[in-house]
């Protein structure tokens, strides 16, 4: 898919976000589009490497405004739980969103979309807490918690 006739160019998306926007011609596109699960070899139209929730919202608005050229939206943190290719889509990569906050009093962890379990383990340990996680500390928290990455 091309962006020749879209309302907004991907350069305008780049101006709206703090993260990086990659097209297939950009350095880093191939490395970024690949997740842990190498059986899914997808070729998104664009990749947004989100830095925060505002970037994700801007990416979703961009995809909605350019629905004739974007074949949907896909989200990827570590790529463990990919089930289908995101060919022609806007791939929003959350792997740079790494904040973890542990509230020791309530025993609740608040994590951003790119956090892996090892980061939660490391943040919880000083409080005498341990999260319930799968067999790999390198799986993304959000994907695992929502049923992916198993």
What gap in Å lies between CA 145 and CA 12, rounded to an integer?
33
**Could you tell me the two tokens for 150?**
């198993």
Please write the tens of the pLDDT for every residue from 37-63. Answer: 677 778 899 999 999 999 999 999 999
Instruction: Tell me the pairing of strands 73-76 and 46-49.
Output: unpaired
Integer-rounded Cα Rg, in Å, for the chain is 17
For residues 94 and 54, the answer to whether their CB atoms sit within 8 Å is: no
For residues 99 and 119, the answer to whether their CB atoms sit within 8 Å is: no
- pTM of the complete model: 0.83
pLDDT band at residue 133 under the 50/70/90 scheme: confident
Q: What domains can be seen in the chain, in order of their start residue?
A: 10-93 (3.30.43.10), 100-145 (no CATH)
């Amino acid at each position: 898919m091309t962006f020749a006739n879209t309302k907004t160019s991907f350069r305008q998306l780049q101006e709206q976000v703090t993260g990086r926007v990659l097209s297939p011609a950009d350095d880093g596109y191939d490395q970024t589009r690949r997740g842990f699960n190498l059986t899914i070899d997808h070729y998104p139209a664009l990749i947004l490497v989100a830095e925060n929730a505002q970037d994700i919202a801007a990416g979703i608005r961009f995809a909605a405004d350019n629905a004739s050229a974007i074949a949907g939206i896909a989200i990827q943190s570590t790529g463990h739980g990919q089930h289908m290719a995101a060919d022609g889509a806007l791939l929003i990569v959350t792997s740079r969103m790494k904040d973890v906050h542990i509230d020791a009093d309530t025993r609740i962890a608040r994590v951003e979309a790119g956090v892996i379990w090892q980061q939660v383990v490391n943040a919880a340990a000083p409080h005498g807490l341990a999260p319930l996680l799968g067999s790999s500390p390198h799986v993304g928290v959000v994907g695992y918690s929502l049923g992916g990455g198993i």
